[in-house]
Amino acid sequence: MHCYRITIFTALFALQVNCADARSIYRWTDRQGQVHFSDHAPGSEFTADELRQPDAARNSSGGLRATETELLQHIQQRAIQQKQLAQSRRLKASREQAEHLKPCIANREKLQASRGHGNYKQYSRYLRNHCW
């Protein structure tokens, strides 16, 4: 899913760069009757028609079509949702780890207090099996 998002974003960015750099669009027909479109004027052997010059106001949205803009917004929303989900998972994991460490801390304290007494092995065994 991450590669898909990167690919879409890169394609949309390339489209934006290409649209922003285009000064004029030229149309010409070659000797075989094939119609060509380009942002560069053809050689002197062809007569080209200049179709349009992009407006800065029209390209202020990055030169994206409405469907592309919606797709980009959808991708951005998904990225935000995934970041929030990952953050909540990390928070939940840290809480679970803290809950797991509470008995370990208590048994370490009991182990220190019971050095040389009968419960020493019990606390040591618990720590060895669950905390280390």
Q: What is the pLDDT of residues 8-54, one digit of tens each?
A: 667 666 666 555 444 677 777 878 888 777 777 777 776 767 666 55
In the predicted structure, residue 60 carries a pLDDT above the cut 60: no
Residue 124: which residues within 8 A CB-CB, separation 6 or more? 111
Percent of the chain with pLDDT over 90: 18
Asked if residue 26 lies in contact with residue 41, where contact means CB atoms within 8 angstroms, the answer is: yes
Task: Determine the distance from the C-alpha atom of residue 109 to the mean position of all C-alpha atoms in its chain, rounded to a whole number.
Answer: 45
Q: Which amino acid is at 31?
A: R
Q: How far apart are CA 125 and CA 132, in angstroms?
A: 10
The structure tokens 């020493």 sit at 120
pLDDT of residue 22: 47
Q: Could you tell me the pLDDT band of residue 57, with boundaries at 50, 70 and 90? A: very low
Asked if residue 35 lies in contact with residue 29, where contact means CB atoms within 8 angstroms, the answer is: yes
**What is the C-alpha radius of gyration for the chain, rounded to an integer number of angstroms?**
33
Residue 63's nearest CA partner among 112, 37, 97, 25 is 25
Q: How far apart are CA 50 and CA 125, in angstroms?
A: 85
pLDDT of residue 111: 81
Q: How far apart are CA 61 and CA 54, in angstroms?
A: 12
Structure token pair of residue 2: 């991450």
Which tops the pLDDT comparison, 56 or 114? 114
Mean pLDDT score of the chain: 76
Mean pLDDT within 101-107 = 86
pLDDT of residue 76: 93
Q: What pTM, to 2 d.p., does this model score?
A: 0.40
